[in-house]
Amino acid sequence: MPQKKMIHDLVEMKARGEKITFLTAYDYPTARFAEQAGLDMLLVGDSLGMCVYGYAGTVPVTMDQCICHSEAVRRGAPNTFVVGDMPFLSYQVSSQAAVENAGRFLKEAGMDAIKLEGGARVVSRIKAIVDAGIVVMGHIGLTPQSSGQLGGHKAQGRTAESAGAVVRDALAVQGAGAQMILLEAVPPEVGSYIAGLLSIPVLSIGAGIGCDGQLLIVSDVVGQFQTFVPKFVKRYADVAGVVTAALQEYVADVKSGTFPAEEHCYRMLEGEEAKFRAEFK
Ligand code: KIV
């Protein structure tokens, strides 16, 4: 069993050019698979709103849902660096609420760090959480919680002006004390420029090969989420196909009377059936 990575291990991986592997997980079994597969880091993302609860987006997700799923992931992956994701309105209202909610991820769910969305405009929240002794991952570029303001789930940084804004956000987040950054849906030119500019690890989800590591949503990776497939996704399995085929076979077996078979039954103990029948004719 490899040793659990800490934040300084991740910073050292960046320094020596070793790519960091990062995946979302929302439940105990997936966390176990991910730890067995050797992931460096896991994110209990608020994408659980879509991937687990079937919401249209992440906005309805609550702190209690995030804590509950973070606890399950921690139980499944006790030796992996796990990041809890701060849901919409858990940090926007005040720095005090931000610190209290960030603290819940550590106290109640054993998370190693928290992630929150936003660049320059959330600097005061990042500082407050860092001052409380909590490792923070910033999340910039496409920020799904504020996708309404961005005009939808659109890639950012595709013009020089927009790319400049993403770079300024990255510098602001690092300057506020965040120890990692997640960069979502920006061109690879912008991703590699920011990864080279910052001293902290820059993780990519749709930000190209030049970043220090890659994140994907587990439900996309295994082919479980069917509503839409973002451009940055690479699918490695067809869980939806495998599970649907298994369930179709189960339905057919029950309908045709081939399930349950003899090997699935608990037989009565020797001599007990005769006694049973004598009493219940
Ligand atoms: O919630 C999540 O999984 C995320 C990714 C979309 C980056 O924040």
Residue 207: give its domain's CATH number.
3.20.20.60
Ligand 1 atom closest to Cα of 144? 6
Residue 228 is predicted with a pLDDT of: 84
Give the integer Cα–Cα distance in Å for 218 and 22.
Answer: 10
What DSSP letter does each residue of 87-109 carry, written as one string? PTTSSSS-HHHHHHHHHHHHHTT
Within-domain flag for 253? yes
Give the integer Cα–Cα distance in Å for 121 and 63.
Answer: 21
| Structural domains of the chain, count | 2
- Annotated catalytic residues are 184
Does the CA dihedral 19-230-79-202 come out positive or negative? positive
Give the integer Cα–Cα distance in Å for 232 and 224.
Answer: 16
Does the CA dihedral 191-196-197-203 come out positive or negative? positive
User: Other CB atoms closer than 10 Å to residue 251's CB: what's the count?
Assistant: 11
Does the CA dihedral 206-26-122-202 come out positive or negative? negative
What DSSP letter does each residue of 6-74 carry, written as one string? -HHHHHHHHHTTPPEEEEE--SHHHHHHHHHHT-SEEEE-TTHHHHTT--SSSTT--HHHHHHHHHHHH
Q: Do 13 and 212 form a contact (C-beta atoms < 8 A)? A: yes
Domain membership of residue 228 as a residue range? 7-237
Give the integer Cα–Cα distance in Å for 32 and 220.
Answer: 18
Answer yes or no: do 252 and 209 share one domain. Answer: no
Cβ contacts of 248 within 8 Å, gap of 6 or more:
none
Answer yes or no: do 133 and 269 share one domain. Answer: no
Answer yes or no: do 17 and 53 share one domain. Answer: yes
Answer yes or no: do 21 and 133 share one domain. Answer: yes
Residue 95 is predicted with a pLDDT of: 98
Answer yes or no: do 46 and 182 share one domain. Answer: yes
Within-domain flag for 1? no
Answer yes or no: do 54 and 169 share one domain. Answer: yes
Probe residue for ligand 1, chosen from 30, 43, 51, 137 as the CB with the greatest number of ligand atoms within 8 Å: 43
Q: Do 49 and 55 form a contact (C-beta atoms < 8 A)? A: yes
Residue 88 CA, ligand 1 centroid: distance in Å: 12
Probe residue for ligand 1, chosen from 46, 52, 154 as the CB with the greatest number of ligand atoms within 8 Å: 46
Residue 281 is predicted with a pLDDT of: 86
Answer yes or no: do 108 and 203 share one domain. Answer: yes
The residues facing 141 across adjacent strands are 184
* CA nearest neighbour of 44 among 71, 70, 20: 70
The amino acid that residue 139 corresponds to is: H
Which residues' Cβ are closer than 6 Å to ligand 1? 24, 43, 45-47, 85, 139, 144, 182, 184, 205, 217
Answer yes or no: do 114 and 198 share one domain. Answer: yes
Question: What string of pLDDT tens digits covers the 281 residues of the chain?
Answer: 678 999 999 999 999 999 999 999 999 999 999 999 999 999 999 999 999 999 999 999 999 999 999 999 999 999 999 999 999 999 999 999 999 999 999 999 999 999 999 999 999 999 999 999 999 999 999 999 998 888 888 999 999 999 999 999 999 999 999 999 999 999 999 999 999 999 999 999 999 999 999 999 999 999 999 888 889 999 999 999 999 999 999 999 999 999 999 999 999 999 999 999 999 98
* CA nearest neighbour of 158 among 191, 121, 109, 114: 191
Cβ contacts of 260 within 8 Å, gap of 6 or more:
none
Residue 75 is predicted with a pLDDT of: 98
Answer yes or no: do 170 and 190 share one domain. Answer: yes
Within-domain flag for 2? no
Q: Do 44 and 4 form a contact (C-beta atoms < 8 A)? A: no
Answer yes or no: do 33 and 140 share one domain. Answer: yes
* CA nearest neighbour of 64 among 108, 27, 28: 108
User: Other CB atoms closer than 10 Å to residue 210's CB: what's the count?
Assistant: 16
Give the integer Cα–Cα distance in Å for 200 and 120.
Answer: 17
Answer yes or no: do 212 and 270 share one domain. Answer: no
Answer yes or no: do 160 and 263 share one domain. Answer: no
pTM value is: 0.96
- C-alpha distances (whole Å) from 137 to each of 188, 224, 233, 244 are 20, 27, 22, 37
Within-domain flag for 188? yes
